[in-house]
A and B are shown apart, each in its own frame.
Chain A
Amino acid sequence: MTAKAKKNDGILQLSIKDDMTIYNAEALKETLLGYCRPDTRELQLDLSAVAEIDSAGLQLLLLLKAEAQRRGFILRLLRHSEAVIEVFELLKLGMYFGDPIVIPANWKKS
């Protein structure tokens, strides 16, 4: 399993433990789809373990955001990893997702 989930009162927490690339996009999509249930009020994605993210991964996040809006639940992205921050920076996506991004003090890129 690439993701771990906790469930609490309609708020789902999910840690993604794998790269978000085209190679596992299919599996990831199935997993994420599994959490888009009618009783889901909020989906929290912990991205701290995402070592690599490519366009397919990014696309999944974008699609998920759109799906959340459509279904009326909240998607929160937490603890963005460096790889994710780098992509968000590149495409100025921070505002779109609207989640606070914590930049670690020891971030090498800065």
Chain B
Amino acid sequence: MSDISPALETFSQEVDELLTAMEDALLGLEAAPDDADCINSIFRAMHTIKGSSGLFGFDDIVSFTHQVETVLDKVRNGERSIDSELIAVLLACKDHTAQIVQHVLFNEDEPLPEELQQQSQMLIAGLTGQSAAAAGVPSTQEEKADHFEVDPNTTDSSDNWVISLAFKPDALRNGMDPLSFIRYLQTLGKIVEAIITMPELLNFEDVNPQSCYLSFKIIFNSGCDKKTIEDVFEFAEDDCNIHILPPNSRQEHYLQLLDNLPEDQVKRLGEMLVEIGALTEKEVMRTLHEQWDDANDEPKPLGEMLLEKNILQQPVIEQALKKQESVKQKVNKESNYIRVDAAKLGYLINLVGELVISGAAMRLMVDKHGLSDVDDVASTMSHLVEDIRDTALQLRMVQIGETFTRFQRVVHDVSKELGKQIQLQITGGESELDKTVVEKINDPLTHLVRNSLDHGIETPAERLRAGKPEKGTIQLNAYHDSGRIVIQISDDGKGLDPDRIFAKAVAKGLIKPDQMLSKSEIYHLIFEPGLSTKEEANNLSGRGVGMDVVKRNIEALRGTVSVDSELGQGTVVTIHLPLTLAIIDGFMVEAQKERYIIPLSMVEECVEMSSEEWQIDDVQHYVNLRGQVLPYLRLGDFFHKNKKHTHTQRESLVVVRFGEAKAGFVVDELHGENQTVIKPLGKLFENLNGIGGATVLGSGDVALILDVQGLIQYARKRVNPTLALSSGI
């Protein structure tokens, strides 16, 4: 979107967000068709898009969204009920809106292509159930307001304005004639009743006939708005107290208008009421003046004064106050977010990384020169650096829930397409992980969900035959586990058939027929290129490309994927991912004068490597750790296979854990905690076994970050060779 102006970019972003919200709400409606919040949010999406498009003069969008909005308004008012058919059309409308928006954004001056126009008309026809040609184009907000207008012929006695006129004594002398105003008022509507009041106990003798003692209360029936009525008395203003109380039907009208007020900024109560026409500017000014005059004590709030003076009915004021409060909260919430360019954030994270390294360098120098007075300052600073690091990383953390909810649509669409009944359950959506990880996990996740939809869940008939509920369930779950996030995609479908996978793998030449494989190893074969148990490919899956790509994508994120299944019961795919790709808390160890970093979250414990205590088996490479068989690996030996060396010093055993698997690393020295800025290895070293990255130490030396998971696997394989897969897999 580099070729469009910033305003349009904002517009496009806004539209995106609104459409996403609309989709969520539509899918929510499927479960709860009467959810007013959902309906409102759909309506708001269309309404706002229409409004913003009008701002830019995108008439095509305006005319389309207006139609949708009209239908939604009916739904909102209960004139039309929501059913799955309407939801389907509305979903299509949502997609179509996105298309038109894309079109006008990039081909601003070109008219809408024929095919889009036709689609518009079809959708509108589908929505309204009538020919699209009959539908007109909206223009302004006034039009909308008009259709709430009270019928001027209404004669319902409760449906009247109440106009109170209290003339001041000098009114007549100033040339006012109250009667002439009332005569003029008659041209605007019907005077139902007039009540004239005078002060009681007025002695005829003492009366000054040139003074005015009259007050009028006029019950007036009219379809005019408040401003027009007030204007009748415009010239009397100085000599008369005028109150105009709207009729009850107006009150509902005002409530509705209040509801529809845009929520973009906090307004004063008076402004809001003037905007909806419940108050006129003059009334506000007058009331505010009085408020000012009363200021000797606590001035009363405007709403209370309006109520006291009987200018407006209580419900309207209450509603306005409520609205004001909600807008306030919304604006507050909005202003708490700042959109930041992801590149800037990335730069910040990089700088923080460098800061961590140079902080470590300073620490080193302080220790080296034994500067005890600098020591305190240095520790304070390293604490701060740690805080900065955590906060900076936190900036990039986003909840995975949003990614998950996108699959509602996928599940909805695909299950329709396949004629299956499937529901998606989401749990743990609040788990946070790095934005870059979230972005990259989207494709693999889509693939896995589609797999479940297509292969996993059976058709309703098959499910009933298998004694399962007709409706299949797919679950997306996320949770944190020792510094990593675990994402599970599970379904209650037919599960994986190990025999078929085995046969297929043999046919593809991936394994030999006589090879003995455990169940989980067979399941793992589905991640091999070219293996699909689906006989016929369709447009969703089954072409045998994909699972290997899924695996590769996840491994590129330093994550792992595993699958477990029970034939006839369902399948669970589990993905382990690191929370962040930038900086970790590391544990530094040394072996053969080489320094290594183990992610701290994976370190279980450190013990002394003493043969008396642990019954070390030097041939099979395992120790007996308090009754547990623990495979171990000498890091020195592993990375320097050709060097001969003796283990003279006291060695330590670092016990690490990944998931359920544990292993021990034998090292010469423990250096303790270290903030590790992960630097990717160059292309040349990408495929090194057992190394996941590198980091620069404060001294300028390079330390290697261990790929703990790979090393654990290697260590376990050595202990029990029957577990090992052939090297081809």
Contact = CB atoms under 8 A, between A and B. Distances in A.
Interface in B208-226: 209-210, 212-214, 216
Nearest to B213: A59
Contacts of B213: 59, 63
B692 to A, nearest CB: 93
Q: Which of A56, A60, A92 has the most CB of B within 10 A?
A: A56
Interface stretch (B97-105, B198-206, B661-669): B198-206
Contacts of A64: 204
B414 interface: no
A107 B202 CA distance: 36
Nearest to B207: A63
B445 to A, nearest CB: 76
A67 B204 contact: yes
Contacts of B173: 22
Nearest to A87: B179
A103 interface: no
A66 B180 CA distance: 24
A94 to B, nearest CB: 12
A63 B204 contact: yes
Contact of B214 (A25, A36, A59): A59
A66 B177 CA distance: 21
Contacts of A96: 196
B179 A33 contact: no
Contacts of A32: 204
Contacts of A66: 198, 202, 204
Contacts of B178: 55
A91 interface: yes
B464 interface: no
A29 B210 CA distance: 10
A54 B202 contact: no
Interface string A4-30: 000000000000000000100110110
A29 B196 contact: no
Given A67-B204, A90-B191, A59 B209 contact: yes
Contact of A54 (B177, B194, B196): B177
A22 B208 CA distance: 11
A92 B194 contact: yes
A58 interface: yes
Interface residues of A, dominant DSSP: helix
A101 interface: no
> Counting chain B CB atoms within 10 Å of each CB, which of A26, A54, A64, A87 scores highest?
A54
Contacts of B214: 55, 58-59, 62
Contacts of A90: 179, 182-183, 186, 191, 194
Contact of B209 (A36, A60, A91, A92): A60
Contacts of B176: 55
B172 interface: yes
Contacts of B172: 22, 55-56, 59
A55 B209 CA distance: 10
Considering residues A58, A63, A64, A96, which has the most beta carbons from chain B within 10 angstroms of its beta carbon?
Answer: A63
B519 to A, nearest CB: 95
A59 B194 contact: no
B193 interface: yes
A58 B202 CA distance: 16
Interface in B150-199: 172-173, 176-180, 182-183, 186, 191, 193-194, 196, 198
A33 B205 contact: yes
Given A66-B198, A90-B182, A29 B209 contact: yes
B67 to A, nearest CB: 48
Contact of A55 (B179, B193, B198): B179
Contacts of B202: 63, 66
A92 B186 CA distance: 13
A4 B533 CA distance: 119
Interface string B123-148: 00000000000000000000000000
Interface in A42-97: 54-56, 58-60, 62-64, 66-67, 87, 90-93, 96
A33 B209 CA distance: 11
Nearest to A29: B209
Given A66-B198, A90-B183, A59 B191 contact: no
A32 B193 CA distance: 29
A55 B216 CA distance: 12
A63 B198 contact: yes
A92 B198 contact: no
B281 to A, nearest CB: 28
Contacts of B203: 67
Nearest to B176: A55
Contact of A22 (B183, B205, B210): B210
Contacts of B193: 92
Nearest to A59: B214
A29 to B, nearest CB: 4
A84 to B, nearest CB: 12
Most chain A CB atoms below 10 A, which of B172, B186, B198, B209: B209
A25 B209 contact: yes
Nearest to A53: B179
B176 to A, nearest CB: 8
Contacts of B207: 29, 63
Contact of B210 (A25, A63, A91, A92): A25
A91 B196 contact: yes
Contacts of A58: 179, 214
B242 to A, nearest CB: 16
The 6 closest A-B pairs by CB, nearest first: A25-B209, A67-B204, A29-B209, A91-B194, A55-B178, A55-B179
23 contacts: A29-B204, A33-B204, A36-B204, A54-B180, A55-B172, A55-B212, A55-B214, A56-B210, A58-B214, A59-B212, A59-B213, A59-B214, A63-B204, A63-B207, A63-B213, A66-B198, A66-B202, A87-B179, A90-B183, A90-B186, A90-B194, A91-B179, A93-B196
Given A36-B204, A54-B179, A55-B176, 15 more contacts: A22-B173, A25-B210, A28-B209, A33-B204, A33-B205, A54-B177, A56-B212, A58-B179, A62-B196, A66-B204, A90-B179, A90-B191, A91-B196, A91-B216, A96-B196
